[in-house]
Amino acid sequence: MGDVREGRGAIPAREGKMTATVDARGLACPLPVIMAKKAMEAQDRINVLVDNVQAVENIRRLAVKTACGFAVTEKEGGCWEIVLTRTGPPGDGPTDGPAAAAHPPICHEGGRADAAPLVVVLADERMGQGDDILGGLLIRGFIHALLQLDPRPARIVCYNAGVRLTLADSAVLDDLRDLEESGTEILICGACADFFGVMDRVAVGRISNMYDIVEILAAAGRVVRP
């Protein structure tokens, strides 16, 4: 059984149904999912060891995106063992149905794929620097103004203190829900929500990870950060 870990050398070439072990315990997002993805590029079956629930969910989404079977077993000592098994060509994940909803395509009005999708980044619960009260008013006005855009943003990414905008007591919750209902995907950095201890208070959007966020920003045609 091989061992794959950042800095431990090259991953062996794919040979049938070889199994490698990815030890991602003690590593923060997005390293576990990056290591698992790299291992699956060379192997048909891997075991991944992680020690936090967020890593389990991130790798579960990776399995959906890459057409891999997913099985997880909770071990003693706060550890999970995940088995990923190749069930189709890399990148051959579902294109419709509930599983695909986690990674919907970016579309222009009328359903046409847009070569320059707009992604809005919310990295703080305020807008600009200076007075905090003014900054709070400005971010409320900014998010409300997004509702007037045509087409509206394809995605909104919330990280750092920006995750607080998605909480149940947020002053912009209704506007964010309206945006989501109209087709804007809202992604929340899971590591950030966990850091602030607000994971159970997120009321709009879906929990994501830094690997997904990097992919989204890299593919965006336009990125706006207020």
Domains of the chain, by residue range, sit at: 2-86, 104-224
Tell me the fold of 2-86: Translation Initiation Factor IF3 (3.30.110)
- Backbone CA torsion sign across 218, 29, 174, 125: negative
What's the average model confidence in pLDDT over 147-174? Answer: 95
Residues in the chain: 226
How does the average pLDDT of the chain come out, rounded?
A: 82
Q: Does residue 198 register a pLDDT over 80?
A: yes
Beta pairing class for 68-75 and 79-86: antiparallel
128, amino acid identity: G
Least confident of 31-35, 105-109, 126-130, 166-170: 105-109
**What count of other Cβ atoms lies within 10 Å of the Cβ of residue 115?**
8
Question: 28-46, pLDDT tens digit by residue?
Answer: 777 888 889 889 888 889 9
pLDDT at 111 over 70: no
What pLDDT shows up at residue 15?
47
Q: What are the angstrom distances between the C-alpha of 221 and each of 85, 169, 183?
A: 34, 32, 17
Hey, what CATH class is 104-224 in? alpha beta
User: How many Å apart are CA 212 and CA 226, to the nearest integer?
Assistant: 21
Check pLDDT > 60 for residue 153.
yes
pLDDT value at residue 89: 64
Q: Is the pTM of this model over 0.85?
A: no
Amino acid letter, 135: G
